[in-house]
Amino acid sequence: MFFSQAIRSLQAIDYAALVRMVIDICIVSYVIYRLILLAKGRRAWQILLGLSVFFVLLFFSEQAGLVTLNWILRQVTPLGPVAIVILLYPELRDLLEGLGRLNFWGAPLHVVNRADMTETIEEVVRAATLLAPRKVGALMVMERETGLSDVATTGTEMDAEVSAELLGTIFHHGTPLHDGAVIIRGRRIVAAGCTLPLSDSPNISTNVHMRHRAAIGVSEHSDAVVVVVSEERGTISLAVNGKLIPGLKDDTLRTRLLEAFGRSPGKTGSRRTLTLGRRRPAEEK
């Protein structure tokens, strides 16, 4: 009797509707999860926590019979949507940009040619290891999927092939473009002397200087990979996805850059070294 009722109950289930419901719940749950990851560690996280406290107070004041407090909170509630848009404008913009990138859904996509980026990475690593011992500050922003044309317009257009020598010249003390950032797209330097957005994350230490804060900022607003050379310490750092990885050597920097662009470190081409005061071996006769 029990088994027959169970069989009839199973037969009465609308499996098509059940599958749609499960898919719906999974999609909504994953989107919420990605939104939490996007907001965590940024100013939006504190704003969302503040909104949570507001609604808890609203519910508690109504249940506890605190008429005056509940009335004040209800007067503020209609302004909530406008206030949220104003307060979370940078994060909402990043969210819309993220929805247009496949890596928001967990599947990174690189619009630049990966084979081309191997040579670019070699030149960037050579430039960083050349500038670091001299304590010459540098900001090298490497595009991935998100275009940085708006950032490039803040500097001087170049459209030159990437090379360690050219990067070293750009960031050399006394040149007009040494204080800004270089935007690299594929095998080309798009612009130099560019101004980057500063990060306003509350989790950044106070001893992080402006150059590194700018690197974190552009990596928060895009999926760019930023190589930073410290002018004070002569160290090399990497900013990716709003996080700063300090104290990198040439091998670790090369490995992390290759991984960021979907390349296996074991599949790199021949490494070239830069000898100060001499031509490269390939150029010597």
Residue 96 resides in a domain? yes
Which residue do the tokens 């006769």 mark?
Answer: 285
The 10 Å Cβ neighbour count of residue 68 is 8
Residue 123 DSSP label: H
Residue 274 resides in a domain? no
Please, which residues have CB within 8 angstroms of residue 181's CB and are 6 or more apart in sequence?
139, 140, 141, 151, 155, 192, 193, 194, 195, 196, 214, 218, 226
Yes or no: say if 86 and 232 are a contact pair by the CB < 8 Å rule. Answer: no
Residue 195 resides in a domain? yes
Q: Could you tell me if 128 and 185 lie in one domain?
A: yes
Residue 261 resides in a domain? yes
Q: Could you tell me if 46 and 75 lie in one domain?
A: yes
Q: What gap in Å lies between CA 184 and CA 281, rounded to an integer?
A: 26
What string of DSSP letters covers 223-247? S-EEEEE-TTT--EEEEETTEEE-S
Find the domain containing 48 and state its range: 2-105
Which of 105, 138, 167 represents a domain boundary (last residue)?
105
Q: Could you tell me if 222 and 122 lie in one domain?
A: yes
Residue 277 resides in a domain? no
Which of 51, 78, 105 represents a domain boundary (last residue)?
105
Q: Could you tell me if 128 and 240 lie in one domain?
A: yes
Q: What gap in Å lies between CA 250 and CA 70, rounded to an integer?
A: 60
Q: Could you tell me if 64 and 164 lie in one domain?
A: no
Q: Could you tell me if 51 and 192 lie in one domain?
A: no
Helix (H) or strand (E) holding 23: helix 15-39
Q: Could you tell me if 131 and 52 lie in one domain?
A: no
- Number of compact structural domains in the chain: 2
How much is the pLDDT for 200? 75
Residues composing the chain: 285
How much is the pLDDT for 264? 61
Q: Could you tell me if 101 and 125 lie in one domain?
A: no
Please, which residues have CB within 8 angstroms of residue 184's CB and are 6 or more apart in sequence?
120, 124, 140, 141, 142, 143, 162, 190
How much is the pLDDT for 277? 37
Structure tokens at 110: 């690189």
Residue 36 resides in a domain? yes
Q: Could you tell me if 206 and 139 lie in one domain?
A: yes
Q: Is the confidence at residue 187, as pLDDT, over 50?
A: yes
Q: Is the confidence at residue 48, as pLDDT, over 60?
A: yes
Which of 105, 126, 150 represents a domain boundary (last residue)?
105
Q: Could you tell me if 119 and 253 lie in one domain?
A: yes
Residue 30 resides in a domain? yes
As a whole number, the mean pLDDT across the chain is 79
Q: Could you tell me if 118 and 218 lie in one domain?
A: yes
Which band of pLDDT confidence, cut at 50, 70 and 90, is reported for residue 111? very low
Q: Could you tell me if 24 and 153 lie in one domain?
A: no
Closest listed residue to residue 47, CA positions, set 97, 92, 96: 92
Give the CATH number of the domain where residue 221 resides.
3.40.1700.10
Which band of pLDDT confidence, cut at 50, 70 and 90, is reported for residue 122? very high
The model's pLDDT over 196-249, given as tens digits with 9 standing for 90+, comes to 988 877 777 777 888 899 999 898 888 899 999 998 888 999 999 888 999 999
Residue 282 resides in a domain? no
Global confidence as pTM: 0.60
The model's pLDDT over 243-260, given as tens digits with 9 standing for 90+, comes to 899 999 989 999 999 988
